[in-house]
Every structure is written in C-alpha cells, then in structure tokens.
Amino acid sequence: MAKPKIAKRELDSYTIKGTNKIVRPGECVLMRPSDSEKPPYVARVEKIEADSRNNIKVSVRWYYRPEESLGGRRPFHGVKELFLSDHYDVQSGHTIEGKCIVHSFKNYTKLENVGTEDYFCRFEYKASTGGFTPDRVAVYCKCEMPYNPDDLMVQCENCKDWFHPTCMNTTIEEAKKLEHFLCSDCLSDDNAKRSLNSLQVNLEAQVVSKRRKN
C-alpha cells in the first residue's frame, strides 16, 4: 500500500531557528555541514515549503568553493570566491545557520570593506563535467592570469594593463609607494624614445655646428 503524500504549502519566508533573521527565495544562506570542522556550505534558496507537520524544507542550488571543484583551487581564485553549480538539493530548514551575500565579481571589487558574510561569484560550474561558464575571462600581467581581488596589482600609466608587483621584480611595499608606474615593456619603449630623441638632438646640434664653421 502506497504511503499517502504529505501535503505541502509554499512559504514566502522562513525565520532562521534561534535568530530573528528572515530568509526569502532568491537569497543566499550558510548551511551547517555534517563535518563540524568544515566551513559552512553556501547555497541559494530556490523554494521554501512546509508540510502538515510544519516541517520546513528548502530547495537550494549549491555554490561550490574552488577546492570542491574538479580543477581545485588555483592562484587566481579569491579567498571568498564561489562557483554557482548546477547541483540542486532539498534540505531541512534547521540546517540553515545564517545569511550571506554572493556578489557579482564587479560589485565585489567595489566593496570598501569585505565582511564575513560577503562572497563573490564570476563562474557557473557544471558539477558532472567540471566545466565552467564563461570558459574564458580577461587575463592580466606577464603571467597572464585572471584577476584575483585579494592580490595587489598596479596599473601601467602607458598601456593601462595591470601587473603583480612580484612579476615586475618589485615588492608589494615598494609598489604601494609608487606615484607613477611603467611596466618593463613600456619602460623599454620610453627609454628607446628618449635615446632616439637624444640622438636627433645631437645630430641637429652637429648640423648647426657644421653650418657655423662653413
């Protein structure tokens, strides 16, 4: 004999147990992991439902941390970076520990202060294949790596590209003191132009000198 289906009703919000924080569909939450030594999982709430016994269930779409992906964490991944996965799940509302904000990459880089509840996402992640969308992003510096918002970079005044101080054979402390910066390529071009201008001035001076002698 088949078990009767328990009637469910969809809710507009849910108050996190033991707090006064209200969660609504579309917002991001921190969820308690089974291993207490691991950081909380991050998910986006898709739907909130309650059954006739008032048990709360939340349908979520998981965010993955870089180390949880097939490729693992890479140097350009930020400490607070997450990937929006195609992994959906249903969890008890009681596993929600708190709320968080997953910013777009652009908005995250504009934050004056990054709080513990702030994360960012610039990739969607297909858990079954390990693929990313987009599969390409802009790269910078001589190392040709995507931008990591946790790393200091300096902009060349000439070519407008961004560079890691270490890739330019300088320290972060020295880079912070710079008022003007030219990358090695632009510096070489600048020196070449100065040498050429100096050569032209010297040639003109020689021509004038010869005319005076004649």
- CATH code at position 33: 2.30.30.490
Express each pLDDT in 143-188 by its tens digit: 999 999 999 999 999 999 999 999 988 888 888 888 888 888 888 7
Position 162 scores a pLDDT of 92
Distances (CA, A) of 29 to 18, 53, 172: 15, 24, 35
Whether 3 is in a domain gets the answer yes
Percentages of the chain per state (helix, strand, coil), in multiples of 5: 25, 35, 45
The parent domain of residue 189 ranges over: 152-214
How many independent structural domains does the chain possess? 2
Residue 14: partners with Cβ closer than 8 Å, 6 or more residues away: 22, 23, 48, 56, 58, 93, 96
Position 1 scores a pLDDT of 53
Residue 213: predicted pLDDT:
56
Q: Assess whether 163 and 112 both reside in one domain.
A: no
The structure tokens 């270490």 sit at: 166
Name the pLDDT band for 44 (thresholds 50, 70, 90). very high
Mean pLDDT over 86-97 rounds to 95
Q: Which of 71, 101, 136 is the last residue of a domain?
A: 136
CATH number at residue 213: 3.30.40.10
Task: For 95-147, write each residue's pLDDT tens digit.
Answer: 999 999 999 999 999 999 999 999 999 999 999 899 999 988 899 999 999 99
Residue 54 lies in a domain: yes
Same-domain status, 111 and 35: yes
11 and 91 together in one domain: yes
Residues 13 and 119 in one domain: yes
**Mean pLDDT lowest for which of 9-18, 59-68, 97-106, 166-175?**
166-175
